[in-house]
Copies of this chain bind each other. A is one copy, B any other.
Amino acid sequence: MNRIQTFLAMVLLPMLAAAQTVTSPNGKVKLTFSLTDNGAPTYALTFKDKPVVKPSRLGLELAKDKHASRKMKETDLMDGFKIADTRTSTFDETWKPVWGETAAIRNHYNELEVSLNQPATHRNVIIRFRVYDDGMGLRYEFPQQKALNYFLIKEEHTQFAMTGDHKAWWLPGDYDTQEQETQESRLSEIRGRFNDAVNWKNSSVAVFSPTGVQTALQMKTADGLYINIHEAACVDYATMHLNLDDKNFVFESWLTPDATGLKGCMQTPCQTPWRTVLVSDDARDMLSSNLILNLNEPCKIEDTSWIHPTKYCGVWWEMIVGKSSWSYTDEYPSIKLDRIDWTKAKPNGCHGATTANVKKYIDFAAANGLDQVLVEGWNVGWEDWANHWKRDVFDFVTPYPDFDLKYLNEYAHSKGVKLMMHHETSSSVGNYERHMENAFRLMNQYGYDAVKGGYVGDIIPRGDHHFSQSMNEHYLYVVKEAAKHRVMVNAHEAVRPTGLCRTYPNLVGNESARGTEYEAFGGNRPDHTVILPFTRLQGGPMDYTPGILETQLSTWSNNKSWVRTTLVGQLALYVTMYSPLQMVADLPENYAKFNDAFQFIKDVACDWDESRYLEAEPADYITVARKAKGTDNWFVGGKCDENGHRSIVKLDFLDKGRKYECTVYADAKDAHYKDNPKAYTITRRVVKKGDTLKLTQAPGGGFAISLIAK
């Protein structure tokens, strides 16, 4: 088989011109650029001299502009190129993120810049490669030039030719949702499993190919290489999917179209996002990589003093589970915001965001050191907000009559707590942009400094998609406008992140994957949270909303679903699923039932000076130790799949000669996510550097450790 593939590659790319090679600083990753004899750019990548990406085509197919001269034939940027110039350079810099897994990040790469000219069109394109010790990024750059001013992209054809039938953890490629369950299969099995992989009940489903998958795509080769394909710095460009040629195991980029089917509308000077490949023979390197952050621009916000990690609770889980409602009334078949007198509407009796209920959460937050209280359903319009293509769905400033906006903010502030704003847009994007400035002003007026956004349902303007160029521009526009108001943004259902939080660190979170809410909709698989750090988290933090200690929802609601982890597994997520924004998602009364375990959630940090991935295997287990920002305290989290896992944690990261109060939250011996999830032990001891902890994680379980320096 391997010979046949090599043969095919030889046929397709028969005579490579003089190749340009650039290696990573440590020499282990090597990238080779060549032109085929018909002037098509190609690249290949090796790790420790093993092929990772076989020779693969690069290029873009253009669409003809209707305004172009009728005689003019649109030319593609696919072949007919000559190398005008090549330059190599080295970069080595250490920068400090506003928040993150580590206090400092080293950005060290060797770069190859290939200037190409297409003589037939006089067009110039630059392909820039940056090669890191843990992978590479490449992008297309289009300098301003007379022969290439505006252009339309029909498709980008960046290929990633794999060396074999790797194991992959994949989501169906989709223009509108990222909330499917991850599939684990060989590449050759994707087609056969595709249809079952799509949750067709999700009304947003917009799949495009039976071998189309999303990024970040984590793979593992038969000989133990870990390969991850994603993108970095997706700005004003459509999100990339990967479409697999499953005969040859060649992935090709597949962009998200606009309503007319076009995939990009470009004006030079401009560039594509970086197409990234992480590679290592150690799975932990997939998790500790900063390649995607490094490929983003440095922070563009001058004063970042108002951006801070946040632990929050909120009026949310009770609505997700179905015990209370976002909406205020059930009286009307539909709502027109400009016609209704809310004071005369009949309350439905189960509205969640009431003054009294929010007050309860504020008290809970204040009592337990949480920073903020999210309130969903505070503003009018929830009665018929979803799936109606309703333009004027929310105004983002008018509270329901039973939510005392002024009082609650004052009350929260008097207790040292802030409310967190919620802007569900219902994907009515123009409507949000119309109201956004007033909405941010309201936030400033009442002292909110963070907003959770939402993009449920079909995009308005109709025909557009969640991950199109225009929507990606919108999401970033919101982040930039929010920054003007010193507001942090956590947008749900928005595009999966690509490291833009480096440039705009007020983008403190996204959902962009299947979150904890699905535990109330039938459950997430136990291995879900030991896949996400390899996939979804590559681009930036996820507001996963962990902390559901009462894993059996039926104990307090009519919801028959149950959480597919142990209670301790929920604690572990605060460490294993890095985010500067961590929800404490369960109800106050549920935490009261497990006060001793809840202590870990109160203690755990959400910003870090150091992070050490101790062990990791996709979909099996992740163990990480993190040093809390500005302290000498460490927190260790271990999470595993449905098979359980034994961990030996060597405390060699602790300061030498120092003693630590160590509290271990562990699954009880007989714990199991299915039938005994809430069985746990809490043990305390004093430890020092070099000590070893042996920990047994139950099926679907985990462990959580706090190490407080004495």
Contacts and interface: CB of A to CB of B under 8 A. Distances in A.
Interface of A: 66-67, 144-146, 149-150, 152, 203, 258-260, 262, 265, 267-269, 332-334, 336, 384, 387-391, 430, 433-434, 437, 458, 461-464, 470, 473, 477
Contact of A259 (B203, B388, B433, B461): B461
B145 A267 contact: no
Nearest to A474: B430
A458 B65 CA distance: 12
Given A333-B144, A430-B433, A433-B434, A150 B388 contact: yes
Contact of A333 (B146, B258, B384, B473): B146
B267 A463 contact: no
Contacts of A258: 461-463
State the number of copies, please.
Answer: 2
Nearest to A332: B144
A189 B335 CA distance: 48
Contact of A262 (B145, B334, B336, B462): B462
A600 B321 CA distance: 76
A621 to B, nearest CB: 40
A451 to B, nearest CB: 18
A267 B265 CA distance: 33
A389 B150 contact: yes
Given A144-B334, A258-B463, A262-B462, A387 B67 contact: yes
A457 to B, nearest CB: 8
A145 B458 CA distance: 24
Given A259-B259, A391-B473, A462 B144 contact: no
B334 A268 contact: yes
B265 A462 contact: yes
A150 B145 CA distance: 49
B149 A267 contact: no
Contacts of A473: 391
A663 to B, nearest CB: 49
A145 B332 CA distance: 9
B144 A259 contact: no
Contacts of A267: 334, 336, 388, 390
Contact of A464 (B387, B389, B458, B461): B461
* From A144, A387, A430, A458, residue with most partner B Cβ within 10 Å: A430
* From A333, A388, A458, A461, residue with most partner B Cβ within 10 Å: A461
Contact of A461 (B269, B333, B461): B461
Contact of A203 (B67, B388, B391): B67
A461 B429 CA distance: 11
Contacts of A262: 462
* From A66, A267, A384, A464, residue with most partner B Cβ within 10 Å: A267
Given A150-B388, A265-B462, A267-B334, 7 more contacts: A149-B333, A150-B384, A259-B260, A259-B461, A267-B388, A268-B333, A269-B336
